Amino acid sequence: MKKVIIYIFLIVLSAFLIPILFTMQFDFINTNVANADNVELNPETQETPNEEYNYKEYGTIKLFHEKTSEVEELPIDQYLYGVVSAEMPADFEIEALMAQAIVARTYTVYKIKTNGGKHQNADICDSSSCCQAWITKEDRLNRWDEEVREEYWNRITNAVDSTKGKIITYEGEPINAFFHSNSGGSTEIPLNVWGGSGYPYLQVVETSGEDAYTQYNSEIELTVSELTAKIKAVHSEFEIDFSKEDAIQILEYTDSGRIKTIKFGNVNLSGVEVRNIFGLRSAKFSAQKIEDKIKFTVIGYGHGVGMSQTGADALAKQGNSFEDIIKHFYVGVEIENI
Ligand SMILES: [Zn+2]
């Protein structure tokens, strides 16, 4: 009888024990598999675009928000989603978007390296007229039509993620990667815009196909009194007599075909100054008096230095890669991982 009780006890015990041991075994195996994955990471899979890239000291960026004066710290590529999507139309060619991502990353790294305390304790600001534009993901998505929202955001993140770590260098150093909207067919050197020199990679380069974009052509008309008031605001001695044939006369062009010096009445102005005074899209313009108005016919959009964004899209449409585009606009550069 005692033996029967012992057998029953053992059967009941094993009914509990076997599943417990079985479960433990599985847990043990699973734990091991998970650990093995962590320990033996394939170095090649780490290189794939969706894996994290080790940016070392360039991993995060301190972004100064111009409107709120707040400083926000962001991972660099997350920051770049906001830059690329603010700076370039998402329906541009993917190779143009990739070029823009690399240009924006290079500009950002250059800013981190060279920041002279321009934005207090931040590296860069979100103003396109100062540093480069930036927009939150929420604002960006809201400004796109609902049916293209997901596709457009994916195009932006793909352009940034697939170029992770890549920047433009000249003699091993990150370049000052200026860019603008439309060069009007030829880019400008910094000397003619800001007076600075020492950027051998920023030359006059010609690009075909930019005239197909709405940014290429623009016009502004001013009355004689509007023109007079605007110039007088910065040159109080200004006088002009439109009965004279040479009341407005272009004196000199830059090598890129922009206005270097133009005479309005008794003052000589640079093309860049005229652009600022009248809010022209570029310094590549002509001025004509038609009846009682002055008509400015303008070609291109922006300062004209470095990469033209519409030029990048035009080049991509002609079959060029992001590397071709970058090496077209920045002379003698390399694309390297930082
Ligand atoms: Zn800034």
- Using the mean position of ligand 1's atoms as its centre, give its distance from the Cα of residue 176 in Å: 14
Quick one: tokens of 7? 């057998």
The secondary structure element, H or E, covering residue 297 is strand 293-299
- Using the mean position of ligand 1's atoms as its centre, give its distance from the Cα of residue 139 in Å: 20
pLDDT reported for residue 173: 95
- Using the mean position of ligand 1's atoms as its centre, give its distance from the Cα of residue 192 in Å: 21
Q: DSSP class of residue 142?
A: H
pTM of the model: 0.82
- Using the mean position of ligand 1's atoms as its centre, give its distance from the Cα of residue 66 in Å: 8
- Using the mean position of ligand 1's atoms as its centre, give its distance from the Cα of residue 90 in Å: 23
- Using the mean position of ligand 1's atoms as its centre, give its distance from the Cα of residue 129 in Å: 8
- Using the mean position of ligand 1's atoms as its centre, give its distance from the Cα of residue 221 in Å: 31
Q: Residue 256: which residues within 8 A CB-CB, separation 6 or more?
A: 183, 186, 187, 188, 189, 192, 204, 284, 304
pLDDT of the chain, 338 residues: tens digit per residue = 555 555 555 455 455 444 444 433 333 333 333 333 333 333 343 344 456 789 988 999 999 999 999 999 999 999 999 999 999 999 999 999 999 999 999 999 999 888 756 887 899 999 988 899 999 999 999 999 999 999 999 999 999 999 999 999 999 999 999 999 999 999 999 999 998 788 999 999 999 999 999 999 999 999 999 999 999 999 999 999 999 989 999 999 999 999 999 999 999 999 999 999 999 999 999 999 998 899 999 999 999 999 999 999 999 999 999 999 999 999 999 999 99
Measured at the alpha carbon of residue 99, what is the angle toward residues 97 and 101, in degrees to the nearest 5?
70
- Using the mean position of ligand 1's atoms as its centre, give its distance from the Cα of residue 130 in Å: 4
- Using the mean position of ligand 1's atoms as its centre, give its distance from the Cα of residue 54 in Å: 26
- Using the mean position of ligand 1's atoms as its centre, give its distance from the Cα of residue 136 in Å: 17
- Using the mean position of ligand 1's atoms as its centre, give its distance from the Cα of residue 317 in Å: 32
- Using the mean position of ligand 1's atoms as its centre, give its distance from the Cα of residue 300 in Å: 23
Query: In this structure, are residues 66 and 128 in contact, taking their beta carbons and an 8 Å threshold?
Result: no
- Using the mean position of ligand 1's atoms as its centre, give its distance from the Cα of residue 69 in Å: 12
- Using the mean position of ligand 1's atoms as its centre, give its distance from the Cα of residue 59 in Å: 19
pLDDT reported for residue 117: 65
Closest-CA residue to 262 (of 290, 283, 291): 283
- Using the mean position of ligand 1's atoms as its centre, give its distance from the Cα of residue 177 in Å: 14
Protein residues placing their CB within 5 Å of the ion ligand 1: 125, 130-131
- Using the mean position of ligand 1's atoms as its centre, give its distance from the Cα of residue 122 in Å: 9
Which tens digits make up the pLDDT trace of 269-285? 999 999 999 999 999 99
- Using the mean position of ligand 1's atoms as its centre, give its distance from the Cα of residue 127 in Å: 6
- Using the mean position of ligand 1's atoms as its centre, give its distance from the Cα of residue 11 in Å: 78
- Using the mean position of ligand 1's atoms as its centre, give its distance from the Cα of residue 77 in Å: 18
Q: How far is CA 132 from CA 2, 121, 143, 170, in A?
A: 88, 17, 19, 21
- Using the mean position of ligand 1's atoms as its centre, give its distance from the Cα of residue 308 in Å: 20
- Using the mean position of ligand 1's atoms as its centre, give its distance from the Cα of residue 118 in Å: 7
**Distance from C-alpha of 336 to C-alpha of 212, rounded to nearest angstrom:** 32
**Distance from C-alpha of 191 to C-alpha of 308, rounded to nearest angstrom:** 18
